[in-house]
Amino acid sequence: MRIPEMRDFGLFFHRPGIVSDVARFRRRRLRSLTQADRTLAHDLLKQLIETNTSHSVGSTTAAAEAMRKRLLDAGFAPADITIDGPDARHGNIVVRLPRQARQHHQGPCC
Instruction: Please check whether residue 84 lies inside any domain of the structure.
Output: yes
Distance between CA 48 and CA 65 in Å, rounded? 11
Number of domains the chain contains: 2
Sign of CA dihedral 44, 46, 51, 52: positive
Exposed/middle/buried for residue 61 (C-beta within 10 Å: 0-12, 13-18, 19+): buried
Instruction: Please check whether residue 109 lies inside any domain of the structure.
Output: no
The mean-pLDDT minimum among 1-5, 79-83, 87-91 falls in 1-5
Identify the pLDDT of residue 34.
Answer: 84
pLDDT band at 9 (very low <50, low <70, confident <90, very high): very low
- The verdict on 37 and 78 lying in the same domain is no
Q: Tell me which residue range forms the domain holding 21.
A: 8-50
Instruction: Please check whether residue 3 lies inside any domain of the structure.
Output: no
**Model-wide pTM > 0.95:** no
What are the tens digits of pLDDT across the range 27-43? 666 677 788 888 988 89
Distance between CA 79 and CA 96 in Å, rounded? 9
pLDDT band at 12 (very low <50, low <70, confident <90, very high): very low
- Has residue 8 got a pLDDT over 50? no
